[in-house]
């Protein structure tokens, strides 16, 4: 009778596909696999969103730089952008010009000059705050990719251990170490391991690539801030010289 029962189990197992073995697994294994699949899907959504955002920002930054270095009036460029800059470099430019214009209005009302060094510091501070705000927006949800890349293999390992435990339980219940008795547990272990790697590998690769792109873009913003700050510094010096000459 025992031999007949084992033969029936072996026949049933041979007729089941790998997916049938997976969906015949217990609730713990299913929760692990569904969680890993959900993490993988959300990771890919973040990856595509970040790639698209960075590509658009690079294109818009190129267009802004063309306008900025075209030799046109900065006031005219500021008026054309308005209060709705569509990329970080333009937002930094707007924040600096807003501080510049606010200082000029204050000087005209009080009829007193403000120190150029203080103005320079305020403009640089305004651009730095704007840059940090824009970069923080780019870093949004990057932590999920980092967490998925580090945690998903461990979750898959937990599912692997759980599947092996189920295999040993099956051996103990059937008093047989045949493949038919261990097959469901082995399938659970292999699939949870695979799902853990499927979720982790793209998340790690994308996180490193996107972080590198954001760092390069941040360096580009820093270079623009230094160049624009130099331009405004010369404007401040020229204004101070003219004011001294007028006073004489």
* Continuous segment of H or E residues that includes residue 139: none
Which residues neighbour 2 within 8 Å (Cβ) at sequence distance 6 or greater? 175
Q: How confident is the model at residue 5 (pLDDT cuts 50, 70, 90)?
A: very low
- The more confident residue out of 82 and 65 is 65
Q: Look at residue 45 and give its three-state secondary structure.
A: helix
Domain ranges of the chain: 2-247
Give me 239's structure tokens: 């204004």
Mean pLDDT of the region 217-239: 85
Give me 94's structure tokens: 């707007």
Instruction: Report whether pLDDT(229) > 80.
Output: yes
Contact (Cβ atoms closer than 8 angstroms) between residue 29 and residue 162 = yes
* DSSP one-letter code for 167: H
Contact (Cβ atoms closer than 8 angstroms) between residue 54 and residue 210 = yes
Q: HEC states along 206-223?
A: HHHHHHHHHHHHHHHHHH
pLDDT tens string 15-55: 556 666 666 677 888 888 889 999 999 999 999 999 999 99
């Amino acid at each position: 009778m025992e031999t007949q029962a084992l033969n029936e189990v072996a026949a049933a197992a041979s007729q089941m596909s790998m997916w049938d073995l997976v969906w015949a697994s217990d609730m713990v294994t299913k929760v692990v696999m569904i969680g890993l699949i959900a993490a993988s899907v959300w990771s890919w959504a973040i990856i595509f969103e970040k790639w698209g955002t960075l590509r658009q920002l690079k294109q818009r930054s190129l267009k802004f730089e063309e306008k900025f270095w075209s030799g046109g009036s900065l006031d005219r460029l500021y008026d054309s952008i308005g209060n709705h800059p569509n990329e970080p470099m333009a937002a930094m430019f707007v924040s600096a010009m807003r501080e510049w214009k606010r200082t000029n209005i204050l000087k005209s009302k009080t009829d007193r000059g403000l120190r150029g060094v203080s103005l320079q510091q305020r403009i640089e501070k305004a651009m730095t705050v704007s840059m940090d705000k824009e970069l923080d927006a780019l870093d949004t949800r990057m932590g999920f990719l980092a967490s998925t890349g580090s945690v998903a293999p461990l979750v898959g390992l937990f599912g692997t251990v759980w599947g092996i435990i189920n295999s040993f339980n099956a051996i103990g219940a059937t008093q047989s170490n045949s493949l038919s008795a261990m097959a469901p547990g082995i399938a659970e272990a292999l699939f949870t391991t695979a799902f853990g790697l499927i979720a982790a590998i793209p998340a790690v690769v994308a996180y490193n690539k996107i972080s590198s792109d954001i760092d390069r873009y941040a360096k580009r913003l820093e270079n623009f801030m230094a160049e624009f700050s130099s331009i405004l510094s010369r404007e401040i010096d020229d204004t101070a010289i003219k004011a001294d000459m007028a006073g004489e």
